[in-house]
Amino acid sequence: MFGPARLGPLTLKNRIIKSATFEGASPKGAVTDALIAFHQRVARGGAAMTTVAYLAVAPEGRTDRHCLQLSAESLPGLRRLTDAVHAAGAMASAQIGHAGPVANSKSNGAPALSPSRRFGASGSLTRAVTEDDIARITEDYRVAGARAVEAGFDCIEIHLGHNYLLSSFLSPKLNRRTDSWGGALLQRARFPRQVVAAVRDGAGSGVAVTAKCNMADGVPGGFDLPESIEFARMLETDGHLDALELTGGSSLSNPMYLFRGEAPRAEFAATLPQPMRLGFHVVGKRFMKEYPFEEGYFRGQAHQFLETLSLPLILLGGVNRIDTVESALAEGFSFVAMARALLREPDLVARWERGERDDGSCVHCNRCMPSIYSGTRCVVDVPTAPA
């Protein structure tokens, strides 16, 4: 767990990665001192690498106007961030992607894109992606890969999950196209595979490239386990990735499939303007379903990938205990990714390395989720946003 570990061309100091959680610290898409401090805390706390979330590859690919875009203008601030993380003893990963139908078109001032026309996350109709869009966005990803290297990132994580644009192309439910980008899995996988190749081309061989991929969308008719295993085999055969981080859920239809535990419906509704707040009280239980929390809840599904792939795998999902990390590594997972546990206790990994074996104290209330609008944090102990 605490020995050096290889991730592509990198040597990480241990096998714990802080997975991407939107930091809520980039007003109008700016790199701020608060964003840098967020990742410094994780780096000082012992994780080998911290993941900056979420860096859009195009203006309409932002989740909203407060989402960072990996543009030429953002490079100086991002370089300041990666320098700070390195000085604190960790490596930095850039999660890049295009929000697609999850984008707030009203906030971005641009139509949200999806494989087929539908209602998006902001309640507006999306625009179906054209051939020209696919070519442009693929190039956006290639340029983003090069810019991430220029910004000093050690690793690039391509977001292929949660029904963002590339994930929505994989979904039979969301991708209703009848051209060569829809239909059978081989066609639905064309765009994501093309993007992964473009990112590697832009980034070169000196950095690690990973992907965050859904094992299951958690919605009827969505991307599910048999196809996701087949898609993972395609990615392994293509040979552009250094590891695969396994996730699940849909930001469009079922976000709690990813989080598990309590559903903070009241707290989330309080962040919404009227009349959306009133509407959420009506549909909230359907949108934010409640799943019982279980330690390492994606582990069973992820084992099926472990059994069929040689590509290094990163286990994600409700990891709070050191014995979970140890047993997962013993089973063959290459790394373990943690989010909420480190949001509550950024120094948890350092304490484990000193020989302490206490469980992480996250109570899985998920009230950190609505805090993304005011600075993502554990609200159980910290009632106000950090200065």
| Lookup: tokens for 217 | 């969308």
Confirm whether 54 is a catalytic residue. no
What whole-number distance in Å separates Cα of residue 147 and Cα of residue 326?
A: 35
The tokens for 19 are 């997975």
Of residues 298, 255, 76, the one with CA closest to residue 162 = 255
Q: How far apart are CA 188 and CA 170, in angstroms?
A: 5
CA dist 54 and 159 (Å) reads: 9
DSSP alpha helix (H) spans, 114-177? 131-150, 165-170
Q: Are strands 243-248 and 313-315 parallel, antiparallel or unpaired?
A: parallel
3-class secondary structure, 286: helix
Spatial distance between the Cα atoms of 19 and 24, rounded to a whole number of angstroms: 15
Name the residue with tokens 């906030």: 107
CA dist., res. 170 & res. 182, Å (int):
9
Please say whether the dihedral angle defined by the alpha carbons of residues 217, 145, 313 and 376, taken in this order, is positive or negative: negative
Find out whether 376 and 22 touch, Cβ atoms under 8 Å: yes
Look at residues 347, 337, 346, 339 and name the one whose alpha carbon lies nearest to residue 368. 339
Contacts of 120 by beta carbon, 8 Å cutoff, 6+ apart: 101, 102, 103, 105, 112, 114, 126, 252
Nearest-angstrom CA–CA distance, 226 and 235: 15
Active-site residue, from 54, 164, 257, 297: 164
Phi-psi region of 167 (alpha: psi -120 to 50; beta: other; left: phi over 0): alpha
**Residue linked to tokens 């934010």:** 288
Question: Which residues are known catalytic residues?
Answer: 164
